Amino acid sequence: MISLIAWLLLRVATELSAPPVRSAWLEVTPLASQDEPATVELKAPVVPMRIPALKAGLALVCSGGEEVAVSCAQQYLKAGAAVEPVLQRGVRVTARVRAGKDAVVGARLALVPKELRSRRFVTLPLGRDKGTGRMIREVVTDAAGRVKTPQLAPGEYLLQVSAPGGQILHQEVSVPSPESLLPKRPQAAGAQAVLDLGEIVLDQGVAIAVFVTGPGGEPVPGARVGGHQGDRPETNRFFETTADGEGKAEISGLSPTVPVNVVCLAPGFLRFQQHFDVPPPAVGCSLQPLARIEGVVLGSDRRPVAGATVSSRAIERPATTDSDGRFLFVDLAAGTYALTAVARRYGPERVSVTVAAGERRELPPIELSLGRKLRGLVKDGGSGEPVAGARIVSVDPLGAVDEVSGGDGEVTFAAGEDPLHLRASAEGYPDAEMEIDPGKLDARTLDGDKSVTIELRQGGRLRIAVWDEEADQPCAGCAVNVQGFRAGRSTRVVTDGGGECLTEPLAPGPYAVSSVNERSLGGVVQVSSGGETRQVEVVAGAVTPVQLGEKSRVVQVRFRPPVPEGWKLSADSPSGSRNAEPLGDGSFAVRRRPGSAVVLQLFGGANVTVRQSVLPADDDRPLIELPLPSGAIHGTLVAGKPAAGGRVLTIASAGDGTVQASALIAGEGGFAVPFLPAGLYTLLVDGRPIRSFTLAPDQEEDLGSISLKAPVKMQP
């Protein structure tokens, strides 16, 4: 017969490892596109789910349910891949949000995985609304400023706090396993692990009152109001809120001495932006209504022309006429626009139109005239052989030409009186551009008796491999920029699941290949250069390999005598800190990046860290043996009542000020720091020098009781 305690332990272990499946779900969000997430309802038994419409690429895979942790992972998935849900117990995260002494009511908290590679705004699904089926992505602080999330799986997260005053704050959160937070004694069924972050403090700063009005001074309710301070990704601060029914909004928490950009947006109005060297007390956003232009395109027979292209250099996207020949441009700023209308078989027609703010302008019909019929011959520039299946399109004017060469390489297209800027593309060739000026063609070409030659020349490709040095693995789904020095054109490519990609054919010549950092912070996206660039030469007919990032090199570090059990070794470099792997024989495996110096530090005991050695960047030894210093100090810090517990003790070299060790002082003021080499040191508490001391080789020094209120005792 099983005992009651054993039964309780078994029940708790079972619940922790295999939670029930109730209202469980799976969500897959593509990170390389703006496609809608795919959501699937899960039922027992939970098995891998195939997502038929899924495209290959990086995706955020999340699963959860009632009494189940939200588990999310960034994965590279193949097209139509089967995705395995992860259902496990987790940890609820709680916190209190305040500004100054006041609780912040109505602050919205959302989460994203740390280092999420994406250009899209995305936050984790935290649950599913039973009524609508929609995903819930935020939790809101109550009247006391407190908030609690649903269960989260262990991992590293970025917490985004959006305050009512528009201030957006990001904080890193490390969620441990639920077992580490629950007491070791048997727990009642349903016991919840909770991680309390304490208080999240928003900057009070200064506030800006923003008044959003239309052209007549009328308020614009619901307008979005945003602010931005800072000029570097690591220091940027963002603010975003919404105007009330009277068109008023307030953004608060701004630094009073840093320049600020204020932006106001509303549907149907032109974006309004202002820059201030310091935040003003109030800002007026006078929004101008957007205009629209519409019209109809007719052919030489006065019939509507469907599929005609109408474009302007001042308008981002061209318009295409419908079956009635009609086109429409909306959301235009007041001004003058030069429009070009063109269609296949017709020459371009240009008109100029000026619109006022908010004007709806109907243009007179635009009539097209038939163009001259020209013949083109697409051929390989090296062999002279015709190229079938080549696509010829016009870059300027847009839409004038869009034809494909036949089996003999021939293609026909129309031209007006103005020059045509064409682009030719075919499989196995880099794009080629050329200009055809009808005014410079001879009579035979204009009559169609002689063809215009369009040459495609063989190109080369780049096979790019990207290594994620932080994770020390292939960088799947990473963006790479390829910039040509001669043509000036750039191409963005993305690596596959193995961290590699093969470019389309490129014109021979020099190129710069650089990694691109794309990071989603939830409501903010950061895009910047990855800091590593390779210059390569593309050779016709060849595939040139390019490597970005390098694998970490493993170095064995051995201490003599061996480091006592319970102590660990960290390797700190400019790119961050990484724990070394203990090998069981008193040595450690240290991963280090090529070209970076590494500081080796032992840590353990009562939060003690002791610097041991610096490995120079050019040190390529596979095995490094270090003597383990036997010098040590101990003592007690006294600050009266209460004791000096909880303060930070620092030991710095008196020669150059290098921090040799640090420790968290115990509750009664006691401290002990081992593994110190001989030397002259300065003892500091919370950054304040307390005394200096000399440590001889292999000496264990008792510094006794040190009063923090006594005069500083320094050796000459």
Residues 405/411, Cβ–Cβ less than 8 Å: yes
How many angstroms separate the CA atoms of 366 and 174, rounded?
A: 63
> What CATH fold (topology level) applies to the domain 631-707?
Immunoglobulin-like (2.60.40)
CB-neighbour burial class of residue 642 (10 A; exposed 0-12, middle 13-18, buried 19+)? exposed
> What CATH fold (topology level) applies to the domain 461-548?
Immunoglobulin-like (2.60.40)
How many angstroms separate the CA atoms of 53 and 30, rounded?
A: 11
Q: Would you state the pLDDT for residue 32?
A: 87
What is the phi/psi pair of residue 17, to 5°?
Answer: -90, -30
Number of H helices, E strands in the chain: 3, 61
Q: Would you state the pLDDT for residue 8?
A: 36
Residues 94/181, Cβ–Cβ less than 8 Å: no
Residues 69/153, Cβ–Cβ less than 8 Å: yes
Residues 378/387, Cβ–Cβ less than 8 Å: yes
CATH superfamily of the domain spanning 291-367? Carboxypeptidase-like, regulatory domain (2.60.40.1120)
> pLDDT tens digits for 438-463?
889 888 888 878 999 999 999 999 99
What tokens appear for 698 in the block? 């292999």
pTM above 0.95, yes or no: no
How many angstroms separate the CA atoms of 242 and 263, rounded?
A: 11
* H/E run at residue 272: strand 272-276
What tokens appear for 288 in the block? 């101008």
How many angstroms separate the CA atoms of 377 and 29, rounded?
A: 46
Residues 227/260, Cβ–Cβ less than 8 Å: yes
Residues 412/373, Cβ–Cβ less than 8 Å: yes
Q: Omega of the bond prior to 716 within 30 degrees of 0, cis?
A: no
Q: How far is CA 476 from the centre of its chain?
A: 14
- Spatial CA neighbour of 510 closest among 457, 465, 546: 546
Would you list the domain boundaries of the chain? Answer: 1-100+112-146+168-193, 206-286, 291-367, 373-456, 461-548, 553-627, 631-707
What SS3 string covers 431-461?
A: CEEEEECHHHCCHHHHCCCCCEEEEECCCEE
Q: Do the domains 373-456 and 291-367 match in fold?
A: yes
Residues 629/559, Cβ–Cβ less than 8 Å: no
Give Cα separations from 650 to 345, 439, 563, 609, 663 (angstroms). 81, 81, 22, 10, 7
Q: Which residues of 315-335 are buried (b: 16+ CB within 10 A; e: fewer)?
A: beebbebeeebebebeebeee
Q: Would you state the pLDDT for residue 645?
A: 61
CB-neighbour burial class of residue 309 (10 A; exposed 0-12, middle 13-18, buried 19+)? buried
How many angstroms separate the CA atoms of 227 and 208, rounded?
A: 10
> What CATH fold (topology level) applies to the domain 206-286?
Immunoglobulin-like (2.60.40)
Domain 553-627 has CATH 2.60.40: yes
How many angstroms separate the CA atoms of 439 and 541, rounded?
A: 36
Q: Omega of the bond prior to 561 within 30 degrees of 0, cis?
A: yes
How many angstroms separate the CA atoms of 317 and 325, rounded?
A: 18
* H/E run at residue 179: helix 178-181
Coil, helix or strand at residue 243: coil
How many angstroms separate the CA atoms of 307 and 342, rounded?
A: 9
How many angstroms separate the CA atoms of 513 and 536, rounded?
A: 7
Spans in the chain with pLDDT lower than 70: 1-21, 184-190, 233-234, 487-488, 531, 575-576, 605-606, 640-646, 710-716
How many angstroms separate the CA atoms of 661 and 645, rounded?
A: 18
Coil, helix or strand at residue 77: strand
CATH class name, domain 373-456:
mainly beta
Residues 56/476, Cβ–Cβ less than 8 Å: no
Q: Would you state the pLDDT for residue 710?
A: 55
Give Cα separations from 224 to 220, 228, 259, 602 (angstroms). 10, 14, 20, 51
Residue listed under structure tokens 């602080």:
141
- Spatial CA neighbour of 228 closest among 566, 523, 571: 523
How many angstroms separate the CA atoms of 295 and 304, rounded?
A: 11
